[in-house]
Structure 1
Amino acid sequence: MLGGPDDDVVQEVWLAVVKGLPRLRRPDRFAPWLFTVARRAVMNRLRDAYTRPEPEPIDDLRGGDEAEAVVNRETLAGALAAVPAREREVLLLFYLEDLPLEACAQICAVPVGTIKSRLSRARVLLRRELVRKGYEA
C-alpha cells in the first residue's frame, strides 16, 4: 500500500499488536484483527503522505533481463500507486495476501458486495494505468 518498505509503519503495527493482544477476545480472529491494525497504520501514513508534494518521476531504464524485471516491478508499483487507496487495498489483500472476500470485507469493515465492486473497479483502473504506461498484454 505504501509503495515500498517502511520500517516505521511496521514497528508501529507490531507495537499496536503487542499492546492490543491481551484484549483480543477471539484468537481465531487474529488474522483479520492484525490486518485491521495494519490497515489503520497504513492509512494514517498515507494521509500524511498526501499532504507532502509528489517527487518527480524517474525515467525507466531499459536493459538486460534483470533490469527489465526491475522496470516491470516499478511499472506495476507505479500503476498500483495510481489506483485509489480503497481499491488498491482490496487488490493487495485479495491477490497478494490471498485472502478470501469475506476476510477482506471484515478488514475493510464493509459488506462483501462492496469488496466485489471495489475489486472489479480496481482491476479496470489498474489495466487502464498499465496501458497508459505502455504495457502491452
Structure 2
Amino acid sequence: MTQLILFTEIENEICILLAQRINPNKDFYLKLNGPGGKAIHEKNENMEACVIRECFEETEIVLRNEKLVKIFKETCYSTKELITENCLQKEAYYIVTLAIYLHPLEESPKQTEPHTLGPWHLYKIKDLFKTPE
C-alpha cells in the first residue's frame, strides 16, 4: 500500500490535498484520503512506481521522481488485505507494507473516481488536528 501527501503553502499555511471516500460499501467510508493504493505484484511494481501510477489514476497529476520523498515505510502482518492491522505471524493472512511519500502540489487535481472519492480539496494541516467541540 502506498499513500501520497501532496502539499502546498497557502498564506503561510501548509495544506495537503485530500478527498472524502464516498462509497458506503468500501472500507473507510466518509474518511479523508490522499492518493494511493496497492502495488501490482504481478508486474513486480515497486512502491515508487505504485505511488506515481496511483496518483495519476486518481488525480491526473504527473509526479516528478526527483521531488518524490519517502517519509515512512513499515511492513507488518495483518488479518485484512489492505489494512495494516498488526497481528501475530501465525494469525496473519497477509503481509502489508505501507509506504508514505511527500511531493509538492504543482498542478490542479481532477476528480477521476467519482464513484469512490469526492472532489479533491486542500486542507490546512492545523485544521485536520483540531478536536471537534
Q: Same fold by TM (over 0.5)?
A: no
TM-score w.r.t. the length of structure 1 is 0.25
Structure with greater Cα Rg: 1
TM-score w.r.t. the length of structure 2 is 0.25
Structure whose residues are more often helix by fraction: 1
**Relative contact order, CA 8 A, sep 6+: which one is greater?**
2
